[in-house]
Amino acid sequence: MEIIKFRKGIKKYIIELYENIDEMPIMNFAELEKNLIIEGGVGSNINDFDVRLQKISQFISSGHDKKAMNEINNMRSLFWNITHEIRPDMDAYSCFVATINGKETKCTEAGIKQTTDFLKDIGFTKKMIDEKDQIKKKIDIQLKSSFPSLFETDNIDLIGAQKRKMITQLDEIIDNKDYTKKIEKENKRVSEYLDSKKFGNNEGEDVEYIKRYTKMRMNLESRTNINCKKLTVYDFYALIELQKAA
């Protein structure tokens, strides 16, 4: 556990965070992933409008109209989140919170919102934004090293396409020539690998993720008679790996 001591005025707060897969409950991890999916696909703050607009422009210029329409709908969801003060990035951070002043948090939708609201009220907002990605990266490294067959590596094809596009743009500047057609070709390749999915409805990617997780958990429970809700992240995926090997 990571222990954070925080003070607001004369009040002191001790916040314990899960930072290892052998201590973080799988229920927290599932809610964490759901909120990160929403953050990545929709956004959390006004700066994310630029991200959505860039992707819309990218998809339109490369002829991916369906992906562009998805991004327009995602931008509408982003507007809704902002106007209703919904912050999936902060809710994701709350999934790491184990206790506040010794009291255990609840990893339900209502419990996460309660934790987020409390942390915002005591002025913990900046830490929630700054530290979330750092903790998640640590968790991801642990998962990939412990269960390499279950967790994919980065999208190599997308990274390669983005690199080729950048090199072509640099060549245009260095050679002082018009490489518009080459850049458009690489831009189209990037768009092929860029993902764009729907969010915020019964078929949204965030809802589908929870459905897939629930089915996987129920399948494990029917095979093993183990209450998977009480497992840590490590134990849950170790059980999956064991079942696959059986």
pLDDT at 191: 61
In the predicted model, is pLDDT for residue 227 greater than 90?
yes
Using CA atoms, how far apart are residues 246 and 243, in angstroms rounded to an integer? 5
Using CA atoms, how far apart are residues 120 and 89, in angstroms rounded to an integer? 12
Percentage of the chain lying above the pLDDT 70 cut: 81
Long-range contacts of 101-106 (CB under 8 A, 24+ apart): 101/13, 101/14, 102/14
Q: Where are the domains of the chain?
A: 2-44+87-146+204-245, 152-196
pTM of the model: 0.77
pLDDT tens digit sequence for 57-114? 878 888 888 888 888 888 888 898 889 888 899 999 999 999 999 999 998 989 999 9
Q: Position 66: which residue type? A: K
- What sign results for the dihedral spanned by CA atoms 202, 205, 210, 212? positive
Considering only 24-28, 54-58, 180-184, which range has the smallest mean pLDDT?
180-184
DSSP type of residue 63:
T
Using CA atoms, how far apart are residues 197 and 74, in angstroms rounded to an integer? 8
Neighbours of 175 (CB within 10 A): 9
Kindly provide the b/e burial profile for residues 153-163, where b requires at least 16 CB atoms within 10 angstroms of the residue's own CB: eeeeeeeebbe
**Three-class secondary structure of residue 108 per DSSP:** coil
Residue 47 CB-density burial (10 A; 0-12 exposed, 13-18 middle, 19+ buried): exposed
Q: Which tokens is 175 given?
A: 């050679």
Identify the CA nearest to 44 among candidates 95, 82, 80. Answer: 82
Q: Which residues pair with 3 in a beta bridge?
A: 16
In the predicted model, is pLDDT for residue 197 greater than 80?
no
pLDDT at 150: 80
Considering only 25-29, 190-194, 207-211, which range has the smallest mean pLDDT?
190-194
